[in-house]
Structure formats: structure tokens, C-alpha cells
Structure 1
Amino acid sequence: MSTAPNNLTRLRYIKLIHVARRELRMDDDTYRLMLSGMVGLEGATSTADLSVPNLQRVLEQLKQLGFKPRPNKTGARPRANDEQAKKIRSLWLELHDLGAVRDPSEEALARFVKSMTRVSALQWLNVPQASRVIENLKQWQRRVTNMEVV
């Protein structure tokens, strides 16, 4: 059974190496030449021939060539989907359409909510906190639309 986690680790590294190759626009010949020239890989030209420590070396080499791994989004928190969260999101996007909000992203909204409530995510707001955010966004929207009328 000890080979299963090791095998999963190998597969993860191999996938990440292939992503790096694609993002670096490295053709097959260049990639195999890089592998064969690396110290400690005994001339291997394929990831299939490499152990986990050697796969780590290859990944480090690709990072030195400019590859920047991005965090996996599967661990991302699911969006709040209750009526108050939908209203908050809607007001936020309307303010963006009016030009009052530069960044319409969920992350920017979460930062705004945290600055008001000290709560890091919409789904963790209680009803009074969410109501306060909604009212604040409505007031902001009124100020912006009244400025356009003048």
C-alpha cells in the first residue's frame, strides 16, 4: 500500500511538469535535451523514468526557466448562495458598472466585506452583518448615482 501515495505524488509531479512545459512553450526536443543534460538523472529523457526526487529536480529546473505554478482552485471555498449574499454580489457588480468599483471579483468583494465586518467570507456573515453590508452598498450606490445627476 505504500506505493499508492507515492504513485499519486509521481502523477501529480508529472502533470505539473507537463503544465510547465506547455506554459513555457517548450517543444519535445528541447524538453528531452534539458532532461538529458541535467545532473543526477542518468541521461533520462522522459518523466516516466524518474523517481519523485528527480521529478522535483525537473520541476525546480522548469521554475528557474520561468514557470510559476498557480494554486489549485479545487480547494477554493464555495460561493455563498443565500438571498442576502446574492443581493450583496448584485449591488457590488452594479457599483462596478457605475464605475465606483474597480475590481468586480469575488476576492475584492470579500476584502470589502471584511473591512466592514471583520468576517472573511460572505457565507460566514450573520443576518445583521449582511444587512449592514447591503445598506452600506445601497448608500454608496445612491451617492454615485446622485453625483451623475448633478
Structure 2
Amino acid sequence: MAKKPNRQAELARIHIAKKDLGMNDDEYRTMLHVVTGKSSAGDLTARQRYQVLDHMKSLAEGPKKSYPGRPNNMDGNSSRVRQLEKIEALLTIGRKPWAYGDAMAKRICKVDKLTWVEDADLYKIITALRKQAKKEGWDLNE
């Protein structure tokens, strides 16, 4: 029983961080699934709770110079690179990790990684992120 208060405190911290980050339920569950493979904080192990808290802390701090999960092949000036840079910008403004983009690619284009999305289908991810930006009121003029 000594672990239960610790578990309760960690779950409370996760839900406080969710509120502080302004995550809706879909974003929150997507983030949980990307980070741990589970869709409910109540199902997380102690280690997974720490992983989620660390991830949420990194979201609160904002992106670092090397964006975790950023594809390595984003050098150049091709149409694909420009589209991936647009996706990166939208993810940054929305304070979402690249893993969030990967989850979108899986849901929308049925591939596991954003970098595996066909060139002709990248617009689908951009469109979904722009709709989310409008819905959530992201400032796209930054």
C-alpha cells in the first residue's frame, strides 16, 4: 500500500500537466499512446508514469535546438523538404512532438512514421494540423 499514494500523486501530476499544456482528451490520449502504448494514465506502470511526466515536461519547456524525432533527411530545397518543414513549424507552434506527427501519419495515411508518408500525401498532414490550429486558436503568425 505504500506505493498507492505515490501512484496517486503521479497521476495527479500528469493530469495537472495535461491541463497546464492545454491538451484536449484526443491529444492527451494520442500522447499517452505514442509515449507508452496505453490510452489511460490509470493503466501506466511506475516507469511509464515517469516517461509521461518527462515527456510533458519537455513539451512545457518547448522545442530544443535538436528537435527529438526530427527526420534526418530534411536538408535541401525539394518540395518534400519544404512540406516537412511546414509540418515541423506547425508541430512547434502547437507544442507537439514529432511523435505526434507520426501518430497522425499512422491514423491518416496508414504508415508508422511521418517520414514514410508519400510526397503526394504530405498535404493531408498539413491540412489536418492547420484545421487543428484553427480549432485550438494557435497563433500561426509567429
Normalising by structure 1, we get a TM-score of: 0.39
Larger radius of gyration: 1
Normalising by structure 2, we get a TM-score of: 0.41
